[in-house]
Structure 1
Amino acid sequence: MLQTLPYTAARITGGFWADQQRSNRQISLGHGYQMLEQAGNFHNLRLAAGRAEGAYRGRNFYDEDVYKWLEALGWELGNAHDDGLQEMATAVVELIAAAQEPDGYLDSYYQVVEPEHKWEDLDHGHELYCAGHLIQAAIALQRAAGDGTLFAVARRLADHIDATFGPGKREGTCGHPEIEMALVELYRATGEARYLALAQFFVDQRGKGTMRGHGTLGAEYHQDHVPVRQVKEAAGHAVRQMYLATGVTDLYLETGETALFNAMRRLLHDIVGAKLFVTGGVGARFDGESFGEPYELPSDQCYCETCAAIGSFMWNWRLLLASGDGRYADLMEQTLYNGILASRSLDGKHYFYVNPLQIRGGRYVRLSTNPEDGSGAANGRPEWHYVACCPPNVMRLLSSYAHYLATADRSGIQIHHYAQGTIEAALPGGPARVEVRTNYPWEGSIEAVIAETGSSPWSLRLRIPAWCGYYRMEVNGRVVEASAEGEGYIGLERRWQPGDTVTLALEMEPHWLLPNPRVDAVRGCAAIQRGPIIYCLESQDQPAGVELLDVVIDQRGPFETSWQPELLGGIVAVQLQGIVRDNSSWAGQLYLPASTVEDTGQSVSVTAIPYFRWGNRGLMSMRVWLPRM
């Protein structure tokens, strides 16, 4: 198994990801605080603390938004000190501590609205779910920022849960998985085995079929339809499925129980083979925010919730740690650059909950299954959501991204994701530090400079992404003949010297992706990929009068790429030739005899942009999958 690095051992210092983190730190986190105040999340905690009067506002899980936002603050304070963020964190932590009851219980909804019904509605009450997010926020603040105040609150809450649930106590588990991964992480932070045992208990409670369904879905909505070790396919609510899988894989990492890992591999095989969108998104249906049937992957009516993509990212990180297999890092990257980054607007203040791969001209994006969110927003991403789980989830991932860049073991350092920064590791032969220089994901050149090293040999392993058809590696300017191992990495083992430079050049030419013919929704179409990025056509970039519904492409035509510094914050755009169909014979007709239809059209140059930057210039039409001639 691979070992994670201490939080401060990896730093992002420049480039694409420094820009993302800077925007998150300077704009999104402060804006999130304002939105949590406006939506009533802080008000609810004040009610629980006896510091406010009035009615509870929002849903029974509103505490989770505060905790995820606070987790993001914790990670960010570990990246760079910020007096403004520190003041916000201190004030909110003090409020949370004041709201906690003497026995450790903490959930503002049940404290204010239904104090007589605590722990009674495990199916839909979200008490354990919110508790899990509090624990994760507390660990972030302690681990990254060195602040243990919230950690003490989390320990008291976890102890209350441990006194309430378990063998010989109350049975059952939460309808929304989350507590499992939080308890495993609390075990790692404290060394107390009872937290790991409690996580095991909650995992083992699943599959009894006792939870009430939701809408047209039965027990699978809550991941209660099959025991975890017997799972064979992804089903039910996509976020719940991803969060449970993350917690189960965490449990495997600590217990080594092979049955758990085998079940998770079966689950991922089902998703990757038949239920994964090209953006890395998961969840085909609005109904129950759920997985659909195999190959049911509609572009225009898909759900692809942002939280489900983040759950997949977290889960595949654990699978990577368990196996060292680069395929999991590939899926993390695919999901991150497409299914996750697409949620957040360039201004850092607006978010998609749902991430379609196609919209038609003039239509709003349906935001979620929550009627309070309305039908959509004119600019695509609303400023906040009535159910605002996604915005702070994006914030905490951006804040903590450096943690996912690399791992280490006794043999050396493994770099899984590329960002400009530094990576430090305590190796058996002494401390090592690697400086990474890159303009990834826009360019495929990565330099890894050995800045510090011990006297003993060690291995530096670099991932070769699955999308890369050609690569070249040099050490100190000399070409190294090396091929990627079966796990998708090139390993260089030697006695390194300070100043040694490894240069990896990944070919980043655009290419076409074709879907499995069983995917009815996009059969006969193709999508553009360059590096890890999936591209789309957005109507704003096309010649006047060109309707995207009429555009077809010739796969044999060439691509041209260009850096556009003024477009959408700076992107690599892809130009290609398309054909605009002549649809005059179809005027007013949906169906015509084949013998009467002439397939003619006019050549046109079209421009593709990264999918993760769509919807930032007003909402018009967009599509990822393009019909082929």
Structure 2
Amino acid sequence: MEFVQVADVKLNDPTWSRQFALVRDIVLPYMWEILNDRIEHAEKSHCIENFKVAAGKSADKYYGVVFLDTDLYKWIEAVSYCLTVERNAELEMLCDYAIDLIKDAQEPDGYLNTYYTSIAPEKRWSNLMEGHELYCAGHLIEAAVAYFKATGKDTLLKISRKFADLIDRTFGKDKRRGYPGHPEIELALIRLYEVSQDKKYLNLAGYFLNERGVGENIFVEECNKEDHAYIFPEMAHFKADYFQSQAPVREQCCASGHAVRGMYLYSAMADYARLTDDQDLAAACEKIYENTITRQMYVTGGVGAAKLGERFTSDFDLPADSAYAETCASIGLMLFSSRMWLLNGKKTNYDIWEQALYNTVLSGIGRDGHHFFYVNPLEVVPQTIAHNPTLSHVKTQRQKWFSVACCPPNLARILTSIPGYIYALDGDCLYILSHLGSSFNKGGFYVNLVRKSDEYTLTIEGEPKKIFLRLPENSNMVSDQIKDYKDGYFIIQHTGGKQEYSYSLIPKVRILRAHPSVSAAAGKLCVQRGETVYCAEQVDNAKPLSALRLPADAVFSEENVDWLDENMPILKTVGYSESEKNWDQTLYSSQSCVYESRVITLIPYSQWGNRGENEMRVWLTEK
């Protein structure tokens, strides 16, 4: 079972073609300017300059966090996915310039890390817990594989393999013992194995996975050394579970620690389990995934509740106003979900994939393509945030850039790679996993899915195949032609030749409650249309939003507005607002509540913050 690759799929979806074009035409050129420090009033990047410093082409000093190299690598990967769709001479030229710079920064033995080369060459591999060397190497490899597939140019691939070969000579059985503090190299090595068919890369990924949590903890050993100095002082207080190294990976059963690290590790575990038919590892992935989505995931597909450590906490701890829910963590959840689908074929995995994409991930980028969210709360009161330092991580508006800017380029690479997650082939079976307008022609087998609003026309031409159309959560599929249904999929028996199939996919509007143990959502409701979660913004509703009361039996009307895409209608219903009359100079009172009838307007959560600073709330109090 394998996905139809990005290079083979052409988007023709009204919404997602616009999103793809936004990244290609606006986001990526903007990010290039950011990486070169040419955007006024934005956080300094210094990324390109750091490569010049490491290459001996600049007398400047290294600036920024230890993993800054990855901003450029993720940018190259995102450009690569664009180039697979349509060659763009300007973007390709910028990539080639960057690749030459990367090549010049690589050391003769293959080592490549601008921080350690420039600042602490004698400290190479001495702080795997914090140093991010293997993490940076992973993103280099992923960029190299993507660029090679897009252009056929192998310079960056050779650079990455030279570094990977050094890592292979350094770590492993009867070599240096180690594993990364921030997983990512494992995912990348598996991709490098798939493109090169050199099994040593798969074996090295397996080594890093299998060594984790076994015997004496590597990170404890590092920290106990006399000359150890913390790069991030807060790491001194974190235990092994923060790094997912508290137990061997096959014995882990719940999501723990830093959310992005966890998602990347679990994704690699699922990949490795599938490729090696490791049933014990697959079983661990199933347990961790189940815990993630049934105990530790926000309704918006966000994961990682706590600011300190950007981490998972405990089951049902999902605060709304202080939610961290890093954009990268939801991208990681998409990666984990897609790999779990390859592992077990359960349609629920793609429900979660879309839940993360349509809500937290899309929220991460503004409609102008120049502003981004790192943190994704479910409740925002600007006045409170301005005066409460415990909420300093929450931004009421998207930012131009960040001093730690992992999320914007990660958004660019996931959004441009979406075409590679729509279809999958398994022998004589075709799976249509996400109903995005698109087409592909592979080995003489042609598929074209055209979407007009909620109406779809699927054209299939080629040999006989069994076609599985996933039924998304909270939607109805209606068709005179497609009737067979099993385990979350509608099934078409394509008998060969050219056939056309029509169906409607109609999102339902429903009201959700949280599990009773989620104390932050007790007595509250949220609204979902299809897999899109909705929220209230102050600009549409009188403040405070905390006074709004939503009836459990509310009936909603849909309305298209000019600032949102066609498939993103606003929702309106009649609800209530608790009156503030008789509350002057009174903070607490035994008086009965007085309610006023009020129209409540909701917008897609992913679109909040695009109309200036506002209160925002996902969970509304039930009436």
What TM-score do you get using the length of structure 1 for normalisation? 0.92
Residue number among 211, 222, 229 corresponding to 2:219 in the alignment: 211
Q: Quick one: distance in 2 between partners of 1:194 and 1:407?
A: 27
What's 1:436 paired with?
Answer: 449
Please tell me the residue identity of whatever aligns with 1:97. K
Aligned to 1:287, the other structure's residue is in SS state coil
1:606 correspondence with 2:615: no
Is 1:363–1:619's contact at 8 Å kept on the other side of the alignment?
no
Q: Quick one: distance in 2 between partners of 1:570 and 1:258?
A: 41
Is 1:512–1:526's contact at 8 Å kept on the other side of the alignment?
yes
Cα 1:329–1:570, aligned 2, differ >3 Å: closer, same or farther? closer
Tell me how far 1:366 sits from its aligned partner: 11
What's 1:497 paired with?
Answer: 497
1:554 correspondence with 2:561: no
Q: How does 1:55-454 map to 2 (within 5 A)?
A: 55-208=61-214, 209-212=217-220, 214=235, 216-364=237-385, 380-426=397-443, 431-439=444-452, 443-450=453-460, 452-454=461-463
Aligned to 1:259, the other structure's residue is in SS state helix
Residue number among 599, 605, 627 corresponding to 2:621 in the alignment: 627
Is 2:375–2:393's contact at 8 Å kept on the other side of the alignment?
no
Q: Quick one: distance in 1 between partners of 2:507 and 2:209?
A: 42
Please tell me the residue identity of whatever aligns with 1:305. E
**1:515-559 deviations in Å (ceiling 9; x for gaps):** 1111100111111111121100011112xx442111011122321
Cα 1:210–1:100, aligned 2, differ >3 Å: closer, same or farther? closer
Q: Which runs of 5+ in 2 are unaligned?
A: 38-44, 221-233
Aligned to 2:525, the other structure's residue is in SS state strand
Is 2:322–2:394's contact at 8 Å kept on the other side of the alignment?
no
Is 1:508–1:530's contact at 8 Å kept on the other side of the alignment?
yes
Cα 1:504–1:48, aligned 2, differ >3 Å: closer, same or farther? same
Q: CA RMSD for the aligned pairs?
A: 2.0
Q: Which runs of 5+ in 1 are unaligned?
A: none
Tell me how far 1:583 sits from its aligned partner: 2.9
Percent identity for Structure 1 against Structure 2: 34
Q: Quick one: distance in 1 between partners of 2:68 and 2:50?
A: 8
Q: Quick one: distance in 1 between partners of 2:343 and 2:2?
A: 9
What's 1:582 paired with?
Answer: 579
Aligned to 2:466, the other structure's residue is in SS state strand
Please tell me the residue identity of whatever aligns with 1:495. T
Tell me how far 1:424 sits from its aligned partner: 2.8
**1:395-431 deviations in Å (ceiling 9; x for gaps):** 00111110000001212311101111103333xxxx2
Cα 1:366–1:345, aligned 2, differ >3 Å: closer, same or farther? farther
**1:149-204 deviations in Å (ceiling 9; x for gaps):** 10010010000111111111110111000000111111111111111111111111
Cα 1:585–1:520, aligned 2, differ >3 Å: closer, same or farther? farther
Tell me how far 1:367 sits from its aligned partner: 13
Tell me how far 1:588 sits from its aligned partner: 4.0
What's 1:463 paired with?
Answer: 470
Cα 1:568–1:538, aligned 2, differ >3 Å: closer, same or farther? farther
Please tell me the residue identity of whatever aligns with 1:466. E
Aligned length in residues: 601
Is 1:40–1:58's contact at 8 Å kept on the other side of the alignment?
yes
Q: Does 580-589 or 104-113 show the bigger shift?
A: 580-589
User: After TM superposition, which residue ranges in structure 1, 4 or more long, deviate above 6 angstroms?
Assistant: 365-369
Cα 1:309–1:566, aligned 2, differ >3 Å: closer, same or farther? closer
Is 2:546–2:620's contact at 8 Å kept on the other side of the alignment?
no
Please tell me the residue identity of whatever aligns with 2:538. S
Is 1:215–1:288's contact at 8 Å kept on the other side of the alignment?
no
1:538 correspondence with 2:544: no
Cα 1:363–1:437, aligned 2, differ >3 Å: closer, same or farther? farther
Tell me how far 1:72 sits from its aligned partner: 0.5
Aligned to 2:208, the other structure's residue is in SS state helix
Q: Quick one: distance in 1 between partners of 2:172 and 2:102?
A: 26
Please tell me the residue identity of whatever aligns with 2:610. N
Q: Does 284-293 or 557-566 show the bigger shift?
A: 557-566
